[in-house]
């Protein structure tokens, strides 16, 4: 019960001043976090995103020396490019992965919002909705592309049903 409230408060803090503008919301969030005007985009192919990933993104927690993270990063990057999903990579050791050279450090706020005091397992992938400040866990550990597809195909309808609950008459 306390976890959703805590996650909401933590994400509100992180997203202050961030407005969802189609697929640009994640790029804006990163730019504001880094206070950098040099960062133009997270994913070049995300400019024309439609559907679910025009209002949602992915957050990846990783360690640059983690063999599972190194195995999963190219799978995630390829999947995200094909599905026009923006990825916010958060490094637990403040180092990039080759597939994600632009990253943010996984701060205490991010970690608490995602893991809520539980053990930190990585790679960890979450869907994020910046409007509701909600994080939805996708998986922990490396996945194959088929596993990632299966999880996202099962998760997206559940997220949509949860977020639109009560809005339909």
pLDDT digits (tens, 9 = 90+) for 95-130: 999 999 999 999 888 888 888 888 888 999 999 998
CA atoms within 13 A of residue 110's CA, in its CB half-sphere: 21
Find out whether 25 and 54 touch, Cβ atoms under 8 Å: no
pLDDT digits (tens, 9 = 90+) for 46-63: 333 358 999 999 999 999
Residue 36, pLDDT above cutoff 50: no
Domain 2-163, CATH? 3.40.30.10
Domain boundaries, the chain: 2-163
Q: pTM higher than 0.75, yes or no?
A: no
Q: What is the pLDDT of residue 46?
A: 36
Residue 10, pLDDT above cutoff 80: no
Share of the chain above pLDDT 70, in %: 68
Strands 87-91 and 124-129: unpaired
Strands 87-91 and 57-62: parallel
Rounded CA separation 119/98 (Å) = 26
pLDDT tier for residue 9 given thresholds of 50, 70 and 90: very low
Phi, psi of 159 (to 5 degrees): -65, -45
């Amino acid at each position: 019960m306390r976890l959703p409230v805590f996650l909401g408060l933590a994400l509100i803090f992180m997203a202050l001043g961030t407005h969802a503008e189609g697929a640009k919301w994640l790029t804006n969030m990163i730019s504001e976090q880094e206070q950098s005007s040099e960062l133009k985009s997270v994913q070049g192919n995300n400019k024309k995103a439609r559907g679910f990933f025009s209002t949602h993104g992915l957050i990846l927690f990783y360690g640059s020396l983690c063999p599972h993270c190194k195995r999963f990063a190219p799978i995630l990057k390829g999947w995200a490019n094909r599905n026009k999903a923006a990825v916010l990579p958060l490094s637990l050791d403040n180092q990039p992965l080759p597939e994600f050279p632009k990253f943010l450090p996984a701060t205490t706020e991010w970690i608490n919002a995602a893991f809520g005091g539980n053990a930190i397992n990585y790679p960890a992938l979450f869907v994020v909705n910046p409007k509701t400040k909600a994080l939805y866990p996708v998986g922990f550990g490396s996945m194959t592309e088929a596993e990632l597809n299966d999880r996202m195909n099962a998760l997206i309808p559940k997220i949509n049903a949860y977020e639109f609950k009560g809005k339909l008459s």
